[in-house]
Amino acid sequence: MYVVTAEEMQKMDRHVIDVIGIPAAVLMENAGSAIARDVQEYSRTHGIDKGKRPPRWAILVGKGNNGGDGLVAARHLMENGVDVTLLFAQSPEQLTGEAARQQEIARRLGIPSIVYGTSPVDWRSFDGIVDALLGTGSKGAPRGPYADLIREANASGLPIISADIPSGLDADTGVPHDPCIRAVRTVALAFLKRGLVQTGGLDKAGEVVVRPIGIWPSLADTFGIQTFLLGEQLFRERFRLDPRLPRQADTHKGTYGHVLVVAGSREMSGAGLLCSKAALRAGSGLVTWVMPDALLPALIGHVPEVMLAGLPGKWNLPEARAKLIALVRSRSVTVIGPGLGRFPGDADWLRMLWEETNSPLVLDADALNILADADLSSWPKRETPTILTPHPGEMARLANVTTSKIQQNRIELARSYARRHRLTLVLKGAGTVVAAPDGRAYINPTGNPGMATGGAGDVLAGMIGGLLAQGLPADHAACLAVWLHGSAGDRAAAKRPSGYSLIATDILEEL
Ligand SMILES: NC(=O)C1=CN([C@@H]2O[C@H](COP(=O)(O)OP(=O)(O)OC[C@H]3O[C@@H](n4cnc5c(N)ncnc54)[C@H](O)[C@@H]3O)[C@@H](O)[C@H]2O)[C@@H](O)CC1
Ligand SMILES: [K+]
């Protein structure tokens, strides 16, 4: 599924209207009737239409096309016996374009209306609110009556269904302005807007549904849309990958690759364990976990399925380096970093693995901290798959900006970093972004806040390694791992609904 910016959406709208010739009023009619259907469906499934009187919905109307959608929705709702009241943010004469036409129709039909600010609103008389104040044409924080209306609507405690995006949400970044509507459902029109699947949008939009309005999805390809939502349909149609395909009968462990895990230290051996187990659970035929000799005895027998390899002395001693290079070269994929710790000369050590081997690498945790202290732009570009899996703090260090800057523009920052360094970047956090070196970016809808727990990232790094080892291209392996990891986390969370007690082992168990 495509994910678009406000500007991309506007360009496609204009194309459909001006070049193809579908009248703007037709698109708005489709948008409004889709919203009305969602309001009725919500009323039905939430018992709002159960009383003796018809359900009462307030429709908040802004002056642009978003308001126009709300006016059409009001008309369709009225036709279906819903008791609607229009609440204009500004006086109806100020509505523009298509919205003005819809306002004229609503006036002639006699749909009851109030102009906000002319008399107090009795919110208790309504069962729900449609938010059609501001859409993709909104700029900056809601001003004047828009801000006041949003605050009152939120304070009413009524369920709010937003048209296209919650008013006050930045459609592109998902950063909520003050104030911002907090919706129970958002009816995205034609395409998902980026803000709905990033940062604040995930909290403010409620359940997000995408409804067609007469703009065909493949138009996004013509317009070069490069951002996608992960899901089974995308895996099948774009990646030609079926996550449910059973294994073939005539295969053996060698068929499924061999992951080398370079991880763990005395204080953080668990990170290596979780990572190795996850690589196995993702289907890698074999996993070897390598660590300095001194750490090895304590781990013998802890995971019988994982092979252990010891290095003489410490990571950076010459004998250890030589043995490590040999191990990396003889395995299909290497995952470096979970619980590794830092040590003198670690930047040279990592650069040696980066330059002197051509095996696929997954870099996580301390490997990313090492990279952040080095100057990656002076390192050679790798020809083989290289995947970085930073959380926002690690990404901030890699890109040398603040964490809040990263969070304000996750998709574009991830995309430009991946392009510039020609690698695959997994920017973790709610709505994880996978950015490929070809400029495509994928957003993950699975997962939950219960997964914000130590070790969850080690599991993900291991899973990516496990899928890479089975021969998937880097972006496919990263996308599938991220999606499966989140889905496993969702199943684990279903057993511990508050989210607080979920731990990384639970995610592993659900794979
Ligand atoms: N043909 C189209 O372009 C279609 C547009 N559609 C709807 O139209 C929306 C976009 O419509 P518009 O481009 O008219 O813009 P909006 O309706 O989002 O905003 C309209 C007006 O609000 C005012 N405004 C902007 N920022 C503000 C702020 N911070 N505080 C207060 N007022 C502010 C401006 O005067 C702006 O013109 C979409 O989100 C969607 O809901 C749909 O009807 C489908 C077709
Ligand atoms: K809206």
Q: Are 181 and 164 in contact (CB under 8 A)?
A: no
pLDDT score, position 265: 87
| 215 lies in the same domain as 312 | no
Q: Is the pLDDT of residue 463 over 80?
A: yes
| pLDDT-above-70 percentage for the chain | 100
Q: Where are the beta strands (DSSP E) in 380-488?
A: 386-388, 424-427, 433-435, 441-443
Distance in Å, CA 107 to ligand 2 centroid = 21
Indicate if the pLDDT at residue 41 is higher than 80: yes
Hey, whose CA ends up nearest to atom 23 of ligand 1? 138
Atom 34 of ligand 1: nearest residue by CA position: 138
User: Which one of 15, 66, 98, 165 would you pick to mutate in the ligand 1 pocket, going by the greatest count of ligand atoms within 8 A of its CB?
Assistant: 66
> Amino acid letter at 353?
L
Please state, in angstroms and as integers, the Cα–Cα distance from residue 265 to each residue in 26, 39, 288, 342, 466, following that order.
63, 55, 16, 10, 21
Question: Are the CB atoms for 450 and 472 separated by under 8 Å?
Answer: no
Sort 115 into a burial class: Cβ within 10 Å, 0-12 / 13-18 / 19+.
Answer: middle
178 CB-contact burial (10 Å; exposed 0-12 / middle 13-18 / buried 19+): exposed
Distance of CA 144 to the CA centre of its chain: 32
Q: How many domains does the chain have?
A: 2
One domain for residues 153 and 49: yes
Q: Go through 465-499 and write b for each residue having 16 or more CB atoms within 10 A of its CB, e for each that does not.
A: bbbbbbebbbbbbbbbbbbbbbbbbbebbeeeeee
In a domain, 454, yes or no: yes
284 located within any domain: yes
**206-245 pLDDT per residue, tens:** 999 999 999 999 999 999 999 999 999 999 999 998 878 8
Shared domain check, 502 and 439: yes
DSSP state of 169: B
In CATH, what number is assigned to the domain containing residue 462? 3.40.1190.20
Q: Give mean pLDDT, residues 380-387.
A: 95
- What local confidence, expressed as pLDDT, does residue 49 receive? 78
Q: What share of the chain is helix, strand, coil (3-state, %, to 5)?
A: 45, 15, 40
Q: Which residues of 86-96 are buried (b: 16+ CB within 10 A; e: fewer)?
A: bbbbbebeebe
Domain that holds residue 71: 3-225
Confirm whether residue 195 is marked as ligand binding.
no
Evaluate whether residue 193 is within a structural domain. yes
Using CA atoms, how far apart are residues 279 and 50, in angstroms rounded to an integer? 51
Q: With a cut of 90, say whether residue 51 has pLDDT above it.
A: no
Q: Is 272 assigned to a binding site?
A: no
Measured between alpha carbons, how far is 461 from 339 in angstroms, rounded to an integer? 12
Please give the Cα distance from 160 to 211 (Å, whole number): 17
What's the CA gap between 440 and 288, in Å, rounded? 32
> d(Cα 290, Cα 457) in Å, to the nearest integer?
19
Q: Which of 86-100, 237-251, 301-315 has the lowest mean pLDDT?
A: 237-251
Can you tell me the distance from the alpha carbon of 81 to that of 77, in angstroms, rounded to the nearest whole number? Answer: 7
CATH code: domain of residue 174: 3.40.50.10260
Q: Tell me, yes or no, whether 10 lies in a domain.
A: yes
Do 205 and 144 share a structural domain? yes
Query: Residue 266 pLDDT > 90, yes or no?
Result: no
458 labeled binding residue? yes
The annotation status of 128 as a binding-site residue, yes or no, is no
Is 283 marked within a binding site?
A: no
154 and 300 co-located in one domain: no
Model confidence at 158, in pLDDT bands (50, 70, 90)? very high
Is the domain of 321 the same as that of 466? yes
Q: Kindly state whether residues 261 and 212 are assigned to the same domain.
A: no
User: Residue 185's beta-bridge partner residues?
Assistant: 161, 207
- For residue 392, CA distances in Å to 197, 300, 426, 488 come to 16, 35, 10, 22
Report if residue 251 sits inside a domain. Answer: no
Pocket test for ligand 1, best of 88, 138, 170, 175 (most atoms within 8 A of CB): 138
Token reading at 157? 């405690």
Q: How far is CA 178 from CA 150, 170, 346, in A?
A: 9, 11, 45
Strands (E), 394-444: 424-427, 433-435, 441-443
Burial class for 222, CB neighbours closer than 10 Å (0-12, 13-18, 19+)? exposed
Percent pLDDT > 90 in the chain is 90
Residue located nearest, by CA, to atom 25 of ligand 1: 138
Q: Where are the alpha helices (DSSP H) in 177-295?
A: 199-204, 219-222, 232-237, 269-281
236-240, 283-287, 359-363: least confident range: 236-240
Q: Give me ligand 1 centre to Cα 327, in Å.
A: 58
Among the listed residues 111, 79, 73, 78, the one whose alpha carbon sits nearest the alpha carbon of residue 92: 111
The answer to whether residue 196 is domain-embedded is yes
Whether residues 130 and 221 fall in one domain: yes
What tens digit of pLDDT does each residue of 322-347 get? 999 999 999 999 999 999 999 999 99
Closest residue to atom 42 of ligand 1, CA basis: 28
Residue identifier of the C-alpha nearest atom 29 of ligand 1: 142
| Residue 135 marked ligand-binding | yes
Q: Please, which residues have CB within 8 angstroms of residue 416's CB and are 6 or more apart in sequence? A: none
Residue 142 contacts residue 134 (beta carbons within 8 Å)? yes
Query: 132 alpha carbon to ligand 2 midpoint, in Å?
Result: 4
Q: Which of 131-140, 196-205, 385-394 has the lowest mean pLDDT?
A: 196-205
348 marked ligand binding residue:
no
**Domain contains 250:** no
CA distance 35 to 245: 37
Q: Are residues 320 and 374 in the same domain?
A: yes
How far is it, in rounded angstroms, from Cα 212 to Cα 229?
A: 16
Residues with C-beta less than 6 Å from any ligand 1 atom: 13, 17, 24, 27-28, 31, 62-69, 134-143, 146, 163-164, 189, 213
One domain for residues 354 and 427:
yes
Residues 6+ apart with CB under 8 A from 331: 258, 259, 260, 288, 359
CA 459, distance to chain mean position in Å, is 18
Q: Which residues of 338-375 are buried (b: 16+ CB within 10 A; e: fewer)?
A: bbbbeeeebbebbbbbbeebebbbbbbbbbbbbbbebe
372's CB contacts (< 8 A; 6+ apart) are 394, 397, 398, 400
Q: Are residues 308 and 456 in the same domain?
A: yes
pLDDT in tens, 288-300: 999 999 999 988 8
**Looking at the CA of 16, which ligand is closest?**
1
Angle subtended at Cα 451 by Cα 209 and Cα 182, rounded to the nearest 5 degrees: 40
Strand partners, 291: 310
All residues with CB under 5 Å from ion ligand 2 = 131, 162-163, 167
Q: What is the mean pLDDT of the chain?
A: 95
Q: Is the domain of 299 the same as that of 156?
A: no
For the residues 388-401, what does the mean pLDDT come to?
97
pLDDT at 302 (0 to 100):
83
| Rounded distance from Cα 94 to ligand 1 centre (Å) | 13
> What's the rounded Cα separation, in Å, for the pair 132 and 121?
17
User: Which of 10, 19, 136 has most ligand 1 atoms within 8 Å of its beta carbon, as the pocket-test mutant?
Assistant: 136
Mean pLDDT, rounded, for 386-407: 96
pLDDT at 506 over 80: yes
Q: Find the 179 Cα to ligand 1 centroid distance in Å.
A: 17
- 437 within some domain: yes
Token pair recorded at residue 21: 């010739």
Q: Is the pLDDT of residue 497 over 90?
A: no
